[in-house]
């Protein structure tokens, strides 16, 4: 995407009377080194838009830096990005557009008018800024890149077709999206849950490719690749069992069958007599486990999600 050709009309939307209410929501946890720059960039990109920083118990003075920039700060007491996003949805549900962006400077503010305009034009209920890491900048490690690929594949197999970048932290939401979804995530699995909700509730989505840049110096990533990756995959499996358990079981059986085929090939050359027994054990255990898990998921009522605690300061 060539950001230089983005129409500038949307940047002046709030200059007129009765203009749409646009809010930039910025989740933060120890982003003092970056938040001032991020606020300045989005003020330039969206003049007149409200900016709200959601501080998730930062200890480095993030809130103070944001207040010095004259923006509203909301403290979210419960730790985790999921809690922060849920608090933002609860607080900003009456806005015409909510633009969600991380506070580390990795996303281009100059793309904000395009994401916002796509919602205002009713082209989509959720617009995702699909990350395109800048070449040679080291914005995304190989481990994270591989993890994104695996998670995207699992999503397509168990849930359905979603956006290309499931884990992007740069998104714009319509009032319909804000009012319709029911979120329960606590941590970094929140982006995956947003994608699942969009597919489940048939909300319109659009993806726009944007540059993904290295973090501003002085900040560090809060993502723990293996720990958070496991939580994300668990979210996909649980929601897959809730939505379409037969699909999940079918995918598992197909995987085991592929394993059997490989074992059969190996057995022909190296004689692995135990491969058929192992396949049968895995098939039976997996089928039983998934059946039990499905029963548990459907027996447990979803109910209304508990809203995260905010502390106004």
pLDDT tens, 193-227?
999 999 999 999 999 999 999 999 999 988 888 88
Task: Compute the chain's Rg from CA coordinates.
Answer: 22
**pLDDT tens by residue, the chain, 313 residues:** 444 445 444 555 555 557 899 999 999 999 999 999 999 999 999 999 999 999 999 999 999 999 999 999 999 999 999 999 999 999 999 999 999 999 999 999 999 999 999 999 999 999 999 999 887 666 677 887 888 889 999 999 999 988 889 999 999 999 999 999 999 999 999 999 999 999 999 999 999 999 999 999 999 988 888 888 889 999 998 899 888 888 888 887 787 777 666 766 766 666 666 666 666 676 677 666 666 666 666 565 555 555 566 665 5
103 three-state secondary structure: coil
Instruction: Name every residue whose Cβ is closer than 8 Å to that of residue 212 and which is 6 or more positions away in sequence.
Output: 106, 107, 131, 132, 133, 134, 139, 140
Sheet with 171-173, edge to edge strand ranges: 205-212, 126-133, 171-173, 97-100, 22-28, 50-55, 72-76, 310-312
Which pLDDT belongs to residue 194? Answer: 97
Cα separation of 119 and 97, whole Å? 7
Please give the pLDDT value at position 5.
Answer: 44
Q: 5: which DSSP letter?
A: G
- Tell the burial category of 60 from Cβ atoms under 10 Å away from its Cβ (0-12, 13-18, 19+): middle
What's the confidence (pLDDT) of residue 1? 45
Token pair listed for 213: 């840049």
Strand partners, 72: 52
Concatenating the DSSP letter of every residue in 200-266 gives HTT--EEEEEEEE-PPPTT------HHHHHHHHHHHHHHHHHHH-HHHHHHHHHHHHHHHHHHHHHH
- Measured distance CA(213)–CA(236) in Å, rounded: 27
Per DSSP, the residues of 109-145 read GGGHHHHHHHHHTTS-SEEEEEEEEPTTS--S-HHHH
Report helix, strand or coil for 290: helix
Residue written as tokens 């499905």? 294
Helix%, strand%, coil% for the chain, nearest 5: 50, 15, 35
């Amino acid at each position: 995407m060539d950001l230089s050709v983005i129409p500038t009309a949307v940047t002046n939307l709030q200059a007129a009377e009765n203009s749409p209410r646009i809010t930039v929501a910025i989740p933060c946890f120890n982003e003092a080194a970056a938040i001032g720059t991020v606020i300045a960039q989005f003020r330039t990109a969206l003049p007149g838009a409200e900016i709200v920083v959601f501080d998730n118990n930062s200890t480095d003075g993030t809130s103070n830096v944001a207040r010095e920039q004259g923006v509203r700060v909301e403290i979210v007491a419960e730790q985790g990005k999921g809690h922060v996003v849920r608090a933002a949805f609860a607080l900003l549900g009456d806005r015409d557009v909510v633009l969600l962006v991380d506070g580390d400077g990795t996303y281009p503010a100059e793309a904000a008018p395009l994401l916002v305009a796509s919602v205002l034009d009713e082209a989509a209920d959720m617009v995702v800024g699909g990350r395109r890491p800048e070449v040679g900048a080291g914005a995304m490690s190989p481990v994270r890149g591989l993890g994104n690929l695996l998670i995207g594949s699992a999503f397509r197999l168990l849930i359905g077709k979603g956006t290309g970048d499931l884990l992007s932290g740069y998104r714009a939401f319509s009032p319909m999206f804000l009012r319709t979804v029911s979120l329960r995530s606590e941590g970094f699995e929140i982006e995956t849950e947003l994608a699942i909700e969009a597919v489940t509730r048939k909300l319109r989505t659009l993806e726009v490719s944007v540059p993904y840049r290295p973090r501003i110096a002085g900040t560090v990533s809060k993502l723990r690749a293996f720990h958070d990756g496991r939580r994300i995959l668990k979210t996909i499996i649980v929601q897959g069992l809730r939505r379409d358990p037969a699909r999940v079981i079918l995918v598992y059986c197909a995987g085991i069958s592929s394993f059997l085929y490989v074992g059969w090939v190996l057995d022909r050359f190296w004689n692995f007599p135990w491969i058929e027994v192992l396949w049968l054990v895995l098939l039976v255990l997996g089928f039983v486990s998934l059946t039990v898990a499905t029963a548990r998921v459907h027996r447990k009522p979803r109910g209304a999600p508990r809203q995260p605690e905010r502390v106004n300061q």
